[in-house]
Structure formats: C-alpha cells, structure tokens
Structure 1
Amino acid sequence: MDKKFVEAIVQYAGGIPLVLEVWSRHFTDYDRNLWPSMLETLKRIPHEDTQKKLRISYDSLPKRAQNLFLDIACFFHGMSKDLIVKVLQDEDFFPDVEIQNLVHKFLVKYAESIYPGDKILSLHNAIEEMGQEVVRQEDEDEPGKRTRLMGYRDVIRVLGDCSVKYH
C-alpha cells in the first residue's frame, strides 16, 4: 500500500479514528485489487457524514449479521454476550459466530464484566447511533412499521395507535 493511498483514506475518513478503525477492517477483508474501487465509493460520502462512513461496514455484512447488529444497537448494548447468545440462539442461528464477525469488523467490542470469563458487548456511541438510524430509516413516520421499536415514545405511539384502532 502506498503512502498516497493511505493519505487518501485518512482524508476521506475525515481523520476520525473510529472511522479509520472500521475502514481498516473493511479494506483488509477484500482483495487489494478492489481497494481503488472501494476508495472511489468512500470518496463520494459527504465529508461531514460520519454515520454513512461507518455504515459501509454494516452494509457489507450478511443479512443475519446485520439483523444481529441492529438488535445489539437497539436492545443489547452493555449486556452479557452469553445472555444474548442464549436469548437469540435457535436451531438455525448461532449468534456467537455472528458476534465474532461483528467484533472482527470493529462494529462491536468486548468490555470486561464483573463476572470472571463473562464478556459484555459494547458499541461506540457513534456506531450505536448509526444502527439505530438504520432502523429509524425503515419508516421515519410510522414506528409501528419498523422492525424494532426504540425508546418509550415509539412504544407509546404504537400502543396508542393500537388502542384507537381496536376499541
């Protein structure tokens, strides 16, 4: 990798360490001959739009990993990895593998727990906000049409709409 290429990545990342960290893994997951095309894609993201810069890594995930990431961003941030695995695991889905993929992509990190051997899933605030924004964009006006409800206002709005429709 040449110096000009690295300087371009730093420039397009806006010098933001979190974006550089996420992009570093994003680039290393692809063959080097694809990097110039990837850089062209990143170049088109507005300089001030950190969420879009972070979303590049989210968009590259398989659908199941995307869904798990959104679950963590909306509900499970700060919770035990073992508990999350128990809640979400079924005969066709093994979240511990997908969690490791999210950690590999620097979208999720492990934090220490007060219990030995337990790992807490943690997200940087900007990454958590990016995930929640992905959900909000599913339907900005109607929270009941989203895949997840976040916050009491959305829940009250949806429950209030239900009580009006079904009385």
Structure 2
Amino acid sequence: MIADRCKGLPLALQVLGSSLFGRTIDVWKSALEKLKAIPNNEILQRLRISYNALQDNPDDQNLFLHLHASLSEREKIILLGCLVTVDENQKVSMHQMICDMGREIVHLGSKEPEKRSRLWNDTDSFNVLREKSGTETIEGLGLDMHMHSVNTPWGDSDEMVFKTTAFAKMPKLRLLHLSHVRFKGCYEEFPKGLRCWLEFPLKSLPSDLPLERLVYLELPHSNVRQVFKGIKYLPSLKNVDLGHSHCLTEISNFSLVPNLESLVLEDCSSLVDVHESIGNLNRLVYLNLKGCKKIRKLPKNLFNLQSLDTLPLSGCSNVKYQ
C-alpha cells in the first residue's frame, strides 16, 4: 500500500522506508492513512530540491507551477526532466507526489487564496470568482463544477454561471482551466494575457474576447457549431482541440490563425467540409480527423504542406479531394 502511494518513486520510498523501518504494523497503517490526506513533509522537502534547481531560470519554475495544476496540457515541453515527462504523443504527465509538492509551494505563498499565484482548489476558485476578489497575483485558475464538487447552493442548471467581471482584477492570468462553468456579460475587461484556456465553456468565440496572446485552446465535447468565424486575428494560437464536438459543422478562415501547429477534430460527427484556407497553415504538424464520418472533401493543398507530419483519417469513409 505504501509502495502504491509512492507509485514507484525511489526517493519517496527511501524517505518513507527510513521513517517506518522497525515500527509496528499499527504505525505503518497510521502513516498510510495520514499520507493519503497529507503529503509527507520530508518527502516534499527533498523533492523540492529538484524544483529549487531551476532557480536560475524563473520561467521554468513558473512553467512547472502551471503544469502541476493542469496535466492535460499538451504543449511540446522538453524540459524539467526530473519533474515532468512527455510521452510520444506529447502528453504531459507528472507523479502525484510532484503535484503535491507544486501545490504545497503555491499554498505556502499566502494563507489567503486570492493572493496565491495559482488557484487549483475548486472551493477557493469558486469563492474568488463569486466574490470577485481576484488579484493581480493570480496567474492560473482551475475550477471543476462537475458533479457539484463545490459545496454550494444550486439552481436549475448543472453548471455555475459567473459574471465575466469576476476576472477584471486578474490582469496576469495566463492559464484558465474550467469545467461545467458558464459566464454572462461582456469580455472587454477579460485578462488580455491569457495563453492557455482548457475546457472552454462557450458555444462560440465572442468577438470582444481578447485572445491575441492565446496559445492553447481546448473545446472537447463542446456545443460549438462554428469556429474562427468573426473572430480577431490570433497570431499566437498554436493548439486547438475540438474533439468530440458533435454540433460542429464548419471551420472557416484559417487565415486568422496562421501559426496553428495542432488541430484535433476527432469524432466531430457533423463536420462536412474543411475550408481550403487550411492549406496555408505552413506550421501545421498534426491534424486529427479520425471518426469524422460525414466529412466529404479535403482541399488538395492540404497535402502539399511540408510541415504536416500526422493525419489520422480512419472512419472518414466519405472523404473526397478537391
């Protein structure tokens, strides 16, 4: 059981083994129960050595603190080898005890949630958004309202609605990860430096939403019908995930996202066409069309893209080429 909790991490096994060697079975059981609820302080202190080793590069430290709160991020990160691993599918993973360390580092920053650099606890995030108590310290915020994970009164909807002005006092917000959360109001005061938005909750991209610096946008299982129509120029956007969005029928005007590198359209069962402007995406490396059973045509210029490395087409039985 102790080994399971440590998940094979040698350093964690060494620290726990030393502290429990020669102790009774009752002490072992007690330690296990405590470990489930509270990370072992000695382990976290030793693991933090790896984090402190990054002190010569503050950007790397900030990246790690972002990642510990959002492990679904699929950016191509080839660093922090002792803390983060990236598999062959570019999926970022992190040992649970490393996550615990990251959260502990953030938690020690302040006793007041709104003064911490990242908010990963659902209750803390909920209260900050509800009370509009955010500050310029906050760089990352995550909130999952699925299955009513936050203890709060609910209305008729199974999603929580916040006012967009709740983000007005968070000018340094870079990472936003939301699930089963909706907004109302205009987006003019929304943080302009947002670079990564996961679990995007809207049905379309509002024209007044400042996304000029956005790098990663995730809309899986969404109700969006159209994307890239009527939006502003998004020169920084590199990764878009629209997988399993069954209402999606149209993707147009790829000229607004000229630096796109990865586009996931897997199981977009209502998608019929892919706009010919996709052939102008000279940086596109990955395009997933798997399971798009209604798609009828693909532009010929798509296959002229020298950068395109992966193009899954299984399940696209009706596809034809222009």
Which one of 87, 90, 98 corresponds to residue 111 of structure 1?
87
Q: Deviations over 1:5-43 (max 9, x none)?
A: xxxxxxxxxxx61459xxxxxxxxxxxxxxxxxxxxxxx
Aligned length: 99
Cα separation, partners in 2 of 1:132 and 1:48, compared to 1, 3 Å? closer
The answer on 1:55 being equivalent to 2:31 is no
> What 5-or-longer segments of structure 2 have no aligned partner?
1-8, 14-39, 134-164, 166-322
Q: Distance in 2 between matches of 1:128 and 1:161?
A: 28
Q: 2:124 is matched with which residue?
A: 154
Bigger RCO of structures 1 and 2 (CA < 8 A, at least 6 apart): 1
Q: Deviations over 1:117-160 (max 9, x none)?
A: xx111100000110111111111x21100111113211112123
| Higher normalized helix content (fraction of residues) | 1
Aligned pairs for 1:4-153 (under 5 A) are: 17-18=10-11, 49-61=42-54, 62-75=57-70, 77-82=71-76, 99-103=77-81, 106-113=82-89, 119-139=90-110, 141-153=111-123
1:77-135 deviation line (CA, Å, top 9, x unaligned): 133124xxxxxxxxxxxxxxxx42302xx10012343xxxxx11110000011011111
Other-structure match for 1:37: none
Equivalent position amino acid for 2:78 in 1: Q
Residues 1:157 and 1:130: Cα distance change in structure 2 (over 3 Å): same
2:130, 2:112 → 1: CA distance? 12
Runs (4+) off by over 4 Å: none
Alignment-mate amino acid for residue 107 of structure 2: R
Distance 1:135 1:48 in 2: 15
Q: Which amino acid is 2:116 matched to?
A: R
Structure 1 residues 110 and 158: CA distance shift in structure 2, 3 A: same
CA distance in 2, matches of 1:74, 1:68: 10
**Gapped regions of structure 1 (runs ≥ 5):** 1-15, 21-46, 83-98, 114-118
* Alpha-carbon separation, structure 1, partners of 2:59 and 2:49: 16
Q: C-alpha distance in 2, partners of 1:19/1:150?
A: 23
Task: Please state which structure has a larger fraction of its residues in strand.
Answer: 2
Identity %: 37
Give TM-score scaled by structure 1 length.
Answer: 0.52
2:84–2:93: 8 Å Cα contact kept in structure 1?
Answer: yes
Residue 90 of structure 1 corresponds to none
2: distance between equivalents of 1:112 and 1:151? Answer: 30
- Where 1:134 maps in the other structure, the secondary structure is helix
